[in-house]
Each structure stands twice: as structure tokens, then as C-alpha cells.
Amino acid sequence: MSAPSSGRILGSLRLAEGKGVVRVEDRFDAPMDELWAALTSPDRLARWHATVEGDLRPGGEFRSYVESDDVERTGRVESCEPPRRFVVTTRETDESWRRGNGVPPFDLTLEVTLSPEGDQTTLVAEVRGLPLESLAFYGAGWQLHAERLRAYLAGRELLDAEARFEELVPAYQAMAAGLPS
């Protein structure tokens, strides 16, 4: 397994309408079309993040399975503007929740925006609708996903998800503790 990424924190946490929001931003050494394909092509997604099956057009419904988290979700594509932006709403399945016994299923909205920066591309992923009691863990998880994407695009072995998650959690717990109650 590759060494963990730097100690750099890519995310921020905030509250909106009584729910948690995670925002992760990073710049990738990849052209926008390459990053878009890694995020939206089921074959490529399966190499670094999740298996996805279904209709990935606007209004389409899909299922995803994130092996590193053992989480299965159902989702809907709310909007898609290749190669710059997409919005999906997802919910963990009841079966997946019973296996993991974590936070009961809830709807979350993921909005991803890509912006070209010369030969690089900036990715901003904002995840809304998260339960406040687990916000720090979602922050660490979404940063881990961004780091795994970076490793995949660079042709490196993916990070040890469990070890890296444990490294990230304290920083996100400190961030969450600073949010208004």
C-alpha cells in the first residue's frame, strides 16, 4: 500500500438547515476531461471508489457499493453538465445499514464541480444533509475518497483506507467541535 498523503486537510465542515456539510477541495495534476471520466465512468469509478450500476443520465437512478466502507446506496442523478458539474442524491439501503449498524439511512446530496487550472483541475465536492453526530467521520471519509482518487489518477497503489481514515478523524473531530451547536 502506498504511504498516506501529507498531513494536509482538504475539507471543511459547516452547518446548513440543521444538517452537516462537508466540503473537500483539491487540485489534481490531470486535465478536466480526465478527472471527469474518473468520476463518472462506472469502469473507472470501480478502480478507486465504488461499483455503480444504473442510469447515470439526469433523472436516472443507480446503485453503488463502496467496498472500503461496505456501504450500498441507491441514488438519483439530479443534474449533469459534462465535464464541469454533477449533482446526485443518495441514500444508504436498509440492508447495508443493518449490516453496518451505523447512522440510520438518510438522504445526502453530493455536488461535484470541476474547474480547469492550466494543465491541472480543481475539484470541489460538497456533501450536504449529513447527520451532525457523525459529521467528523464523514469529513474524514470524503477526504479519504479524494486522496484515493489522486492515487488512482497518478497510477499509484490506493491508500490503506482504514489506517488513513484513523489518521484523519482527529483533525475533523476538532473541526466539528468548533461548529456552533
Mean per-residue pLDDT for 151-178? 95
Model confidence, pTM:
0.93
Instruction: Please give the tally of structural domains in the chain.
Output: 1
Mean per-residue pLDDT for 40-45? 96
Q: Is residue 126 part of a domain?
A: yes
Q: Is residue 57 part of a domain?
A: yes
| Torsion from C-alpha of 74, 122, 40, 159, nearest 10 degrees | -70
CA–CA separation, 116 vs 151, rounded Å?
19
Q: Is residue 105 part of a domain?
A: yes
Summarize pLDDT for 103-129 with one digit per residue, the tens: 899 999 999 999 999 999 999 999 999
Instruction: Look up the domain containing 96 and give its range.
Output: 11-176
Report the chain's mean pLDDT, rounded to a whole number.
Answer: 94
**Nearest CA-CA partner of 73 in 101, 57, 44, 50:** 50
Q: Is residue 127 part of a domain?
A: yes
**pLDDT value of residue 159:** 83
**pLDDT value of residue 54:** 97
Q: Is residue 30 part of a domain?
A: yes
At residue 90, does pLDDT exceed 70? Answer: yes
**Nearest CA-CA partner of 11 in 134, 168, 177:** 168
Which set of grid coordinates corresponds to residue 112?
Answer: 461535484
CA–CA separation, 30 vs 150, rounded Å?
9
Q: Is residue 39 part of a domain?
A: yes
Q: Which CATH number covers residue 70?
A: 3.30.530.20
pLDDT band at 6 (very low <50, low <70, confident <90, very high): low
Q: Is residue 181 part of a domain?
A: no
Q: Is residue 23 part of a domain?
A: yes
